[in-house]
Structure 1
């Protein structure tokens, strides 16, 4: 049967999207925000909403220039609309991830037809790294959305049937998306698209992509959207440009100043794990191009391969590595998978299905052994709850995989792919909820309620020798940093009065206050206790102590 004309398949798409959206957005508020990234970016948005200053970002009341403000703006808008909570804080990464998936589906449909569109959409939605990064508050989901729009717009303009006016519109969209990428995370928003154009042209000895970029009008669009904030923030904050462009771009990439180094193979495990449940499809990408041969002309496949390879190699060479940095390559891989899957028979797909089934089965078995991984940093009940949720997620996936197998037995490949994708999304969402007991150990939610009576009476809160990034957000109040610098170095240099530099100065301040509260680790607490500071323990766990002035 021609599946593209199958009424059952046509009905499956809106059902798939509805269920995907329900799981995608319905799970945002099920977990506490955690330190450091989620607390940091939630606080930056809250500070913008609170102060009304949409030009100069502040973290815990201190100048913060490490990243551009687009995500802070959107986070503040969502907090205004939906309240100051975890759902609003995470909504932009989740929305960005969802829109990325839709863009992948639309692009594959425009380039290679309905079947490729449906499959690419399902594959992108269910990739572990795409779904996972959309459900944690970092900058990478937003960056990936704009980079994906830019990539896909160029592909549609170049390879899809369209009028010259429509092609120009797609190219203009690509330039606008690059501006969004720069406002999301800086110069990487032009480095990746630019390098892709250069490398592909050199590889294929073809400048056709360059000739179609409408450089004059495109650059006008790019600078009109991207430049105003950089100009305004530089005028209001002397020294911004040097810190942002030199320290946060060149020094971060070329040196180990941020202490995030890793081996050359650092990203390979994250690539393989992030491709689940489709990691078994990697050999499909090694097959010869299924598109009609072109006389050394650049194909869409060439662009996607170059783009993906550059992202992996560029960040592998960096002196600063974090797992989420390679997220932008996953939508491109989903497009490649969607193209290759058109020619993959049901028998081959059944063999592929064995890979995620085996891995989820291993997870199911491992979930029954949670008592074996108890550590000093997490109590037994944390791992017991994580094991129970992981077990539920594994069983849900295996049930969906059985249904996908049933579809494949009937040569309903696209329905099988959509079923497997949805099963992985549901299973992973349930398993992700298992992180909450452990996440609370890295969040202020267990103890912030104990501080509210002191806050209401006007007592200051100190963060001594350390900093819980989620504390100001949940407390709805800045805390006073004591003997702590890290990412606040530039802000403290510009505004030294907002922090306390030494423990001795803090001890004097503490003794002079009638009421106060402080967050610290256990070693610092022991030090303060030896100094004779009056402290009453309000909360304590394996990593931290919260005290009040007696």
Structure 2
């Protein structure tokens, strides 16, 4: 009996353990930063405290911009583990980690063991995937469920699949699509549907639709996705128009949300986001239209259609953020995983060589990050972050050089493991080191100064601003003054929960026996000039907190 499989399995388990330690090890280290991390930590906190799992609230106001699946998961984590930075980030970190395992499994089933292994290496070390997996936002959750939908579809339609297997995987795809909709809205079904339609039109494979299990699949989809939408609409008649019309169609077609960027906005994000696999990505895409061994269904072509259609969809949208294209990365990884099984050591050498130049450039430019310093983010903070970036650049260059040496000698698998490990660790260093800037990007420090002054029932005003991360750290909401921003919908429907003008604030402040307020330095200066009595109790580079005398 050969011991090779045993050693191979032990090696995979060791790599999985190392991945888990590196992946989850820094979830608690960094302070929550504005705006997304504060928002998506606070909504579940209020949900867990109030016990209202139907109507999401931010700062005590109705907040219907996104569906609740991640809120539910995070609120449940708070109930089980407590309210911490790591439990706030757990859902994104966990779905990112599971996404790597999913791509390994899918690649293994579709293209063979090595292809699955290489696909997992690529996905788990691509810079954008690593970064978003450690930031508390909704994009990793929706990416995981869209990937599960994609995987279920590919495994159901592959040549040789047994009818029962086809049914099982298609129902998995339908369930995952419903969870994607509950994660971030209609894109969870619109984007997979668009890829399916485009693939069908290209190949004129109308029989494909007969294998989708449409009847049972739609029933399963609505059984999972519909109950919350029905419940929240019954409790909040204003939900439907705001969520489905404004948050979807207006967001896509207008510039109202001030996220407009030119059509090429995602090009540098994609180029940077796939590092350290830039050349391998191009190679995988160039060979993505190959039919391979498919006779009835061509998984590589569908992966290419999936990636391109999602990229084009967001490129023509009038609302763009870097994380929007994250769902294309698992498809990229599968294409690259399959392609890497067919490259030679010398080919891998030349594909990796440009990374040495980029790593050297990163090392040369890292010290100059201090030039980004400003009054809001002062020089000492960037000096601390510079150290992290230099270490990451040195490691990146060392890893690339090691990969080049291994690939030149034909040791492809060790070379790919080294390159992937380097990419993952460097990405973690970049995101972990960002905590050096937290005094300017998070409310954690000022919250620690404020906590001794908090009193039950005492009003806490937020004048002309909403500090996204402050409520999570002080475990309470604030009263908005002369500011609505993304809370405009909630303010409109519950106007008694805010103060519209600075004059209203001054009146309330003078009448309050005890109150706190947070504001920007210019606002504080203006109130002092007007003679409003207040005592400064906390300050950072962006905000000042005062109390009544």
TM-score range, shorter chain: over 0.9
Whether 1:106 aligns to 2:135 is: no
Give the equivalent residue in structure 1 for 2:311. Answer: 312
Over residues 37-81 of structure 1, what are the superposed CA-to-partner deviations in whole Å (9 max), with x where a residue is unaligned?
110010000011000011010101111111100000000011112
Q: What SS does structure 2 have at the residue aligned with 1:456?
A: coil
Q: What SS does structure 1 have at the residue aligned with 2:256?
A: coil
Give the equivalent residue in structure 2 for 1:136. Answer: 135
On the 8 A contact 1:153/1:174 being kept in 2, the answer is yes
Tell me whether 241-250 or 367-376 shows the greater mean CA deviation: 367-376
On the 8 A contact 1:258/1:320 being kept in 2, the answer is yes
Over residues 226-284 of structure 1, what are the superposed CA-to-partner deviations in whole Å (9 max), with x where a residue is unaligned?
00000000011111111110111111111111111000101111111110010112331
- 1:466 offset after TM fit, Å? 0.5
Give the equivalent residue in structure 1 for 2:448. Answer: 449
Whether 1:422 aligns to 2:402 is: no
Whether 1:440 aligns to 2:435 is: no
RMSD: 1.8
Q: Give, in whole Å, the separation in 2 of the partners of 1:34 and 1:324.
A: 16
Q: CA, structure 1 residues 204+501, in 2 after alignment: closer, same or farther (shift >3 Å)?
A: same
Give the equivalent residue in structure 2 for 1:46. Answer: 45
Q: Give, in whole Å, the separation in 1 of the partners of 2:465 and 2:45.
A: 21
Q: Give, in whole Å, the separation in 2 of the partners of 1:436 and 1:261.
A: 28
Give the equivalent residue in structure 1 for 2:265. Answer: 266
Whether 1:542 aligns to 2:541 is: yes
On the 8 A contact 2:290/2:301 being kept in 1, the answer is no
Q: What SS does structure 1 have at the residue aligned with 2:537?
A: strand
Number of aligned residues = 546
Q: Give, in whole Å, the separation in 2 of the partners of 1:371 and 1:438.
A: 12
Q: CA, structure 1 residues 288+221, in 2 after alignment: closer, same or farther (shift >3 Å)?
A: closer
Whether 1:287 aligns to 2:287 is: yes
On the 8 A contact 2:482/2:499 being kept in 1, the answer is yes
- 1:359 offset after TM fit, Å? 2.0
- 1:203 offset after TM fit, Å? 0.9
Give the equivalent residue in structure 1 for 2:517. Answer: 518
- 1:124 offset after TM fit, Å? 0.6
Q: CA, structure 1 residues 137+348, in 2 after alignment: closer, same or farther (shift >3 Å)?
A: same
Q: Give, in whole Å, the separation in 1 of the partners of 2:207 and 2:140.
A: 30
Q: What SS does structure 2 have at the residue aligned with 1:260?
A: coil
Alignment of 1:404-419 (within 5 A): 404-419=403-418
- 1:544 offset after TM fit, Å? 1.8
On the 8 A contact 1:93/1:135 being kept in 2, the answer is yes
On the 8 A contact 2:288/2:301 being kept in 1, the answer is no
On the 8 A contact 1:23/1:426 being kept in 2, the answer is yes
Tell me whether 403-412 or 461-470 shows the greater mean CA deviation: 403-412
Whether 1:507 aligns to 2:533 is: no
Q: What SS does structure 1 have at the residue aligned with 2:526?
A: helix
Alignment of 1:215-364 (within 5 A): 215-284=214-283, 285-287=285-287, 289-292=289-292, 297-364=296-363
On the 8 A contact 1:360/1:394 being kept in 2, the answer is yes
Q: Give, in whole Å, the separation in 1 of the partners of 2:236 and 2:413.
A: 54
Give the equivalent residue in structure 1 for 2:146. Answer: 147
Q: Give, in whole Å, the separation in 1 of the partners of 2:5 and 2:254.
A: 55
TM-score, structure 2 normalization: 0.96
- 1:411 offset after TM fit, Å? 1.9
- 1:288 offset after TM fit, Å? 7.0
On the 8 A contact 2:47/2:53 being kept in 1, the answer is yes
Over residues 467-523 of structure 1, what are the superposed CA-to-partner deviations in whole Å (9 max), with x where a residue is unaligned?
111111111001000011111122112111111111000001111122221111122
Q: What SS does structure 2 have at the residue aligned with 1:539?
A: strand
- 1:291 offset after TM fit, Å? 4.6
On the 8 A contact 1:200/1:298 being kept in 2, the answer is no
TM-score, structure 1 normalization: 0.96
Tell me whether 355-364 or 204-213 shows the greater mean CA deviation: 355-364
Whether 1:179 aligns to 2:178 is: yes
On the 8 A contact 1:110/1:160 being kept in 2, the answer is no
- Structure 1 unaligned spans of 5+: none
Over residues 346-374 of structure 1, what are the superposed CA-to-partner deviations in whole Å (9 max), with x where a residue is unaligned?
11111222233322222222233344443
Q: What SS does structure 2 have at the residue aligned with 1:446?
A: helix
- 1:526 offset after TM fit, Å? 2.0
Give the equivalent residue in structure 2 for 1:97. Answer: 96
On the 8 A contact 1:204/1:298 being kept in 2, the answer is no
Whether 1:211 aligns to 2:210 is: yes
Q: What SS does structure 1 have at the residue aligned with 2:38?
A: helix
On the 8 A contact 1:197/1:209 being kept in 2, the answer is no
Q: Give, in whole Å, the separation in 2 of the partners of 1:218 and 1:75.
A: 28
Q: CA, structure 1 residues 288+400, in 2 after alignment: closer, same or farther (shift >3 Å)?
A: closer
Q: What SS does structure 1 have at the residue aligned with 2:107?
A: helix
- 1:129 offset after TM fit, Å? 1.1
On the 8 A contact 2:292/2:298 being kept in 1, the answer is no
- 1:293 offset after TM fit, Å? 6.4
Q: CA, structure 1 residues 517+438, in 2 after alignment: closer, same or farther (shift >3 Å)?
A: same
Q: CA, structure 1 residues 274+168, in 2 after alignment: closer, same or farther (shift >3 Å)?
A: same
Q: CA, structure 1 residues 345+289, in 2 after alignment: closer, same or farther (shift >3 Å)?
A: farther
Q: Give, in whole Å, the separation in 1 of the partners of 2:82 and 2:211.
A: 44
Over residues 363-414 of structure 1, what are the superposed CA-to-partner deviations in whole Å (9 max), with x where a residue is unaligned?
2222333444432322121111111011122223333334433432442212
Q: Give, in whole Å, the separation in 2 of the partners of 1:394 and 1:292.
A: 38
- 1:435 offset after TM fit, Å? 0.8
On the 8 A contact 1:392/1:431 being kept in 2, the answer is no
Q: CA, structure 1 residues 539+355, in 2 after alignment: closer, same or farther (shift >3 Å)?
A: farther
Q: CA, structure 1 residues 513+288, in 2 after alignment: closer, same or farther (shift >3 Å)?
A: closer
Q: Give, in whole Å, the separation in 2 of the partners of 1:476 and 1:493.
A: 24
Whether 1:366 aligns to 2:365 is: yes
On the 8 A contact 2:289/2:301 being kept in 1, the answer is no
On the 8 A contact 1:9/1:415 being kept in 2, the answer is no
Alignment of 1:473-488 (within 5 A): 473-488=472-487
